[in-house]
Amino acid sequence: MRIFALTLLSVILLACSHGNTAPANTATSTSEPNRTTTADAVSESSATSQTANTPAPPPDTPDVHVSGKRALKYTADMVAMGPRPIGSAAHTKMENYIREHLRKDGVEGNNLEEDQFTADTPAGKFQCRNFIAKFPGKKDGIIVISGHYDTKMLPNFVGANDGGASAGLLLELADHFAKEKKPRDGYSVWLVWFDAEEAVKQWSATDSTYGSRHLAAKWQQDGTAKKIKGFMLLDMIGDADLGIDRDMNSTPWLEDLVYRAASRFGYQSHIFTRKTADEDDHIPFKNIGVPVADLIDLDYGYNNVFWHTSQDTMDKLSAESLEIVGTTVVETVRLLDQR
């Protein structure tokens, strides 16, 4: 991701009117072109107002908590395989790990799809696959929860947070939905592990998001896209210092629903702490009319210093962060089921 941050004038003016100087939240990297165009702080008064307007859940609301400890363990298992870029032996090993985990959860047959495709990259052609785990529901429609599982082609880059955390949390979400009665009372839930999200050379519209661009085109052609009620993308969500950005390239009402879900558990201090406009695996789906929400923390270490470096390691992650994001996502699914 290329990242430069721009403090918005409206935030500056608001801070001045209260006699304070608003802190500028920035994230920078010199290793890759920018994937994020804007960033600013979300005012505390705005967050408090949103929380105050969030209705309390009914007393019979089911528990939607997931296990951050298990998600962290699954992440550690994959990180222990080493760097996992497309075309590597470790990448194949991780595919086997995901497949076997889903089968242990009872996800097989028509409910486990391996979407194979060829990524035509600046470094050559690679055989890749997206994994799609399907949990059928009684309502007509699909909720998609997704993340990528490949890591960038960099020396000694194990991608604990960038690639590992999202893949690990998706496995924990598979555990959660596998325990629900079948079919589930709401919409069908599809978990998607995207392959080949990372640029092989340098991030661009054609050298990135190979798996999501392929699947969006496929779902547009076969009519699946029209059935999607909400699409959530998880990326870099394991940071122990968690601060999910409000992505301006996402669908506003769906991001509002995510905030409402987080507020039920008092997680709102970790959600939408900055505003960004990010290029990620959600964009191909947004471009075909799917409502999307990119849940991403692009402030990984001071000034994003750990991102795409050998310092992206397990010691920077926390089970608590994974539990916050996972529980928020499951609650968002519950709210979507009610729409």
Number of structural domains (the chain) is 1
Residue 6 located in a structural domain? no
Cα(178)–Cα(309) distance, integer angstroms:
35
Q: What pLDDT sits at residue 235?
A: 98
Q: What pLDDT sits at residue 64?
A: 80
Q: What pLDDT sits at residue 44?
A: 39
On the question of pLDDT at 318 being above 70, the answer is yes
Residue 258 located in a structural domain? yes
* pTM beyond cutoff 0.75: yes
pLDDT band at 36 (very low <50, low <70, confident <90, very high): low
Q: What pLDDT sits at residue 31?
A: 45
On the question of pLDDT at 5 being above 70, the answer is no
Q: Which domain holds residue 223?
A: 58-337
Higher pLDDT, 38 or 35: 35
- Please write the tens of the pLDDT for every residue from 227-283: 999 999 999 999 999 999 999 999 999 999 999 999 999 999 999 989 999 999 999
- Please write the tens of the pLDDT for every residue from 66-95: 999 999 999 999 999 999 999 999 999 999
Residue 224 located in a structural domain? yes
Cα(150)–Cα(153) distance, integer angstroms:
9
CA nearest neighbour of 236 among 159, 302, 175: 159
Sign for the pseudo-dihedral over CA of 300, 85, 231, 322: negative
- Please write the tens of the pLDDT for every residue from 285-301: 999 999 999 999 999 99
The predicted model gives 122-149 an average pLDDT of 98
The predicted model gives 50-70 an average pLDDT of 65
On the question of pLDDT at 15 being above 60, the answer is no
> Taking the CB of residue 179, how many other CB atoms lie within 10 A of it?
10
Give exposure, 99-113, as e/b (b: 16+ Cβ within 10 Å).
bebbeebebeeebbb
Question: For all residues of the chain together, what is the average pLDDT?
Answer: 87
Residue 329 located in a structural domain? yes
Q: 136 and 184 in contact (C-beta within 8 Å)?
A: yes
pLDDT band at 34 (very low <50, low <70, confident <90, very high): low
DSSP states of 156-221 as a string?
Answer: T---IIIIIIHHHHHHHHHHHHHTS-SSBSSSEEEEEEES--S-SSS--SSSS-HHHHHHHHHHHH
Question: Residue 277: what residue type?
Answer: A
Nearest-Å Rg of the Cα atoms of the chain is: 19
Domain harbouring 94, CATH code: 3.40.630.10
Alpha carbon 57 to its chain's center: 25
Q: What is the 3-state secondary structure (H, E, C) of 33-87?
A: CCCECCCCECCHHHHHHHHHCCCCCCCCCCCCCCCHHHHHHHHHHHHCCCCCCCC
DSSP H or E segment with residue 232 = strand 228-235
Q: What pLDDT sits at residue 21?
A: 32
**Gap between the terminal Cα atoms of the chain:** 34
- Please write the tens of the pLDDT for every residue from 170-210: 999 999 999 998 999 999 999 999 999 999 999 999 999 99
Q: What pLDDT sits at residue 137?
A: 98
